[in-house]
Amino acid sequence: MNKKQILVVDDSAFMRKIITDIVNSSESLEVVATARNGQDAIEKIKRYSPDAITLDVEMPVMDGLTALKIIMEEMPLPVIMLSSVTKEGAEATINALEYGALDFITKPSSMFKINTEDVRIELIEKLKIAVNVKVRASRKTAVKEVIKPLPKYESKNKAGGLNKIVAIGTSTGGPKALQEVIPKLPKNLDASILIVQHMPAGFTKSLAERMDKLSSLTVKEAENGDMLNPGVVYIAPGDFHMHVVEKMGKLSIKLEKSPTVSGHRPSVDSMMYSLYELKNDNIIGVIMTGMGADGAKGLAKLKEKGIPIIAQDEESCVVFGMPKSTINLNVVDRIVPLDRIASEIIKAMEV
């Protein structure tokens, strides 16, 4: 079997050696070359044409984000970022995902913990997915492009109360995909938006802050006890399940560190199960790009209540796993490209 070839990019010789050993421990992957900075990486990509790369952020000569922009514009290929859990590292990671990085893994607090079994399994799993993803070239203006919202949805709820809940689940490719959905929703939307994006603790706050700047809706990392308000987007914090509970006719968010569901915390399934328990059935379910099947069973439960379900189509997904698993359960009403999800949400609200 021909092994898929990986380029490892890091300014630390120690890290290059450890990551190389991890990659080479896989039966289907091998390191074809290493690079010590972004400029070196670009030269090595031209020389070796790897199937995917691992890319550090902070490096001399040319940092990872600068290199990533060039790579995605001129020689697009799957990129897995190595990210710090610091606030600055989280912000850089969100920028990297926006620029076109496929996914990321977090560096342990000590570099000597990089060779743990958990890190090894995560890196190999993500690289195995990455090498089979077709990456499209980024437009140089894409990041600065102003996203024009759809025409404003005319509120039928004149009292201004909560009319709908839109529940969105996503994973690999999600941060960038969400930027094609949330900024297109109008400010006076009669709905709370709930998002489960698979991310570790420390990164969802930066994602929420970035989305808030791009959107006319208010976007925040969910906090325990948050009351659901229309026109607000709540993103589940990393390492917490996000549930909705009803007390005295009011809906609020409950965060839990209960066991993982479908292998995840936060879990899309877990959120959808909590919505199924509500008396309120004014809900729209949305499943977007992501690896695995999280969300499929939860959305199937919602479908028992007649809830409309929207799925992202295969062509516009980075990874089709989560939408495909939901579609295979025959519970999806509309399968649409990413650029039509916002308009489909609005149409579903008008029913």
Catalytic residues, by residue number, are 171, 198, 294
Q: How far apart are CA 21 and CA 30, in angstroms?
A: 9
Q: How far apart are CA 334 and CA 332, in angstroms?
A: 6
Give the relative orientation of helices 87-99 and 204-214 as an angle to the nearest 10 degrees. Answer: 60
**Omega prior to 266 cis, within 30 of 0:** yes
The answer to whether the beta carbons of residues 242 and 264 sit under 8 Å apart is no
Q: How far apart are CA 231 and CA 216, in angstroms?
A: 9
Q: Is the dihedral of CA 146, 218, 291, 101 positive or negative?
A: positive
Q: What is the CA radius of gyration of the chain?
A: 20
- Name the residue among 237, 243, 145, 163 with its Cα closest to residue 200: 237
CA dihedral 35, 40, 44, 45 (to 10 degrees): 100
Pinpoint the alpha helices (H) of the chain.
Answer: 13-24, 38-48, 64-74, 87-99, 117-130, 174-178, 204-214, 268-276, 296-303, 321-327, 341-349
